[in-house]
Amino acid sequence: MAESDNPGAASRTRSFRHWGGFLASGGTAAVADAAITLALVHLVGFDPFTSRLIAILIAMVVAWLMHRRLTFAVTAAPSLREFLRFAAVAWSANALNYAIYAGILLVLPGSLPLVAIVIATGIASVFSYVGFRFGVFRQPPPVA
């Protein structure tokens, strides 16, 4: 039976591609961020703060290009306007992530930082997905 003969299978495939693309794009951007930061610090000799800023900017471009292709399957040509919307959502999600992380550690001083990271990252991921989906790439969601 071909996928086109089974609408449920086609829907699951689109949904898997969509959510898998979201995870793969975010994961690749996180690895790029860490690798570029470490390379700039250890191979180039930059300070860790400047290195991280450069790495975040590069990782943001990686995430934008991957999300538009893998997660949201955008066929239109990339534009500066789209990238600026993406950057606004991404920076907002990062600020939210840090604020939640810091808030957990301040309000519950005995909390493990890793637990705070997981909670903050989970909430920020939902925020970023909603922002990308409705604010940056604006297209109908995959049928579940």
> What is the C-alpha to C-alpha distance for residues 58 and 29, in angstroms, rounded to an integer?
9
* Dihedral sign from CA coordinates of 21, 25, 31, 35: positive
Distance of CA 136 to the CA centre of its chain: 13
pLDDT the model gives residue 18 = 87
pLDDT the model gives residue 16 = 79
- pLDDT tens string for the chain (144 positions)? 555 566 666 677 777 788 899 899 989 998 898 899 899 999 999 998 888 889 888 989 999 999 999 999 899 999 999 999 999 999 999 899 889 988 999 999 998 888 888 898 899 999 999 999 999 998 655 555
Q: Is there a contact between 46 and 9 (Cβ–Cβ < 8 Å)?
A: no
Residues 6+ apart with CB under 8 A from 118: none
Q: How far is CA 98 from CA 52, 57, 62, 92, in A?
A: 15, 17, 21, 10
Which residue is listed with tokens 């990686």? 62
Q: Is there a contact between 131 and 7 (Cβ–Cβ < 8 Å)?
A: no
